[in-house]
């Protein structure tokens, strides 16, 4: 699966699981070209704003995102950075 396809899949999963009002998934894999460990998937940055984050700590918000894409970790996703915002 290409990095672009993986980014689209991340977006689809987060839309379905967290119903965000704002969502941006940026493929940053090109910044890690030649990184030996990157063979296990791409590097992505997510900005997401969701009512599901209301009242949660920043760590709890990140945990919701990680749980949603967990099946993709290690194979399609090597690294995931994120900015999770409440409504």
Question: Over 80: is that where the pLDDT of 8 sits?
Answer: yes
Report pLDDT for 41. 75
With cut-offs at 50, 70 and 90, classify the pLDDT of residue 15.
very high
Global model pTM greater than 0.75 = yes
For residues 5-14, average pLDDT: 96
Express each pLDDT in 18-62 by its tens digit.
999 999 999 998 776 665 554 557 899 999 999 999 999 999 999
Question: Over 70: is that where the pLDDT of 82 sits?
Answer: yes
Let me know: does 55 contact 40? Beta carbons within 8 Å: no
SS3 state of residue 43 = strand
- The residue among 23, 41, 34, 21 whose CA lies nearest residue 82 is 23
Express each pLDDT in 70-80 by its tens digit.
999 978 998 99
């Amino acid at each position: 699966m290409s990095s672009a396809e993986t980014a689209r899949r991340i977006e689809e999963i987060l839309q379905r699981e967290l119903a965000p009002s704002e969502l941006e998934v940026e493929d940053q894999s090109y910044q890690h070209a030649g990184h030996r460990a990157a063979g296990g998937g791409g590097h992505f940055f997510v900005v997401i704003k969701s009512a599901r984050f209301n009242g949660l700590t920043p760590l709890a918000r990140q945990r919701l995102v990680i749980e949603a894409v967990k099946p993709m970790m290690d194979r399609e996703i090597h690294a995931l950075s994120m900015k999770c915002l409440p409504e």
